[in-house]
Amino acid sequence: MDNTTLIAIISMSVAGITTGLGCIGPALAEGRSVANAMQSLAQQPDAASTITRTLFVGLAMIESIAIYCFVISMILIFANPFWNHIIAS
């Protein structure tokens, strides 16, 4: 097995693991956030606007983690920086 094949295998494997873990973690965090927000809304309905505004900001921050993992995976698959090292040598 040459170096090019090895880099391709490792890059695709890491991209898959990154996407998998990068989606599982935020999905669990979003579910927990929404559940806690619903519980808070049930206890204090007067604070609904504040709770929902804070919830949406928090969900956006959580979702950005999944997007960053997806971007890293796409970089590893389509614009792998390690290919330049192989081409140069």
**How big is the chain by its Cα radius of gyration, in Å?**
20
Q: What integer pLDDT is reported at residue 71 of this predicted model? A: 94
The parts of the chain modelled with pLDDT lower than 70 are: 89
- The pLDDT of residue 46 is 94
Q: 3-79, which class in CATH?
A: mainly alpha
Q: What is the pLDDT of residue 7?
A: 85
CB atoms within 10 A of CB 42: 8
| Helix 3-43 and helix 48-78, axial crossing angle in degrees, nearest 10 | 180
The token duo for 18 is 């990154």
Tell me the two tokens of residue 77: 């698959």
Q: pTM score, two decimals?
A: 0.76
Give the span between the Cα atoms of 70 and 67, in whole angstroms. Answer: 5
Q: Tell me what pLDDT residue 57 has.
A: 95
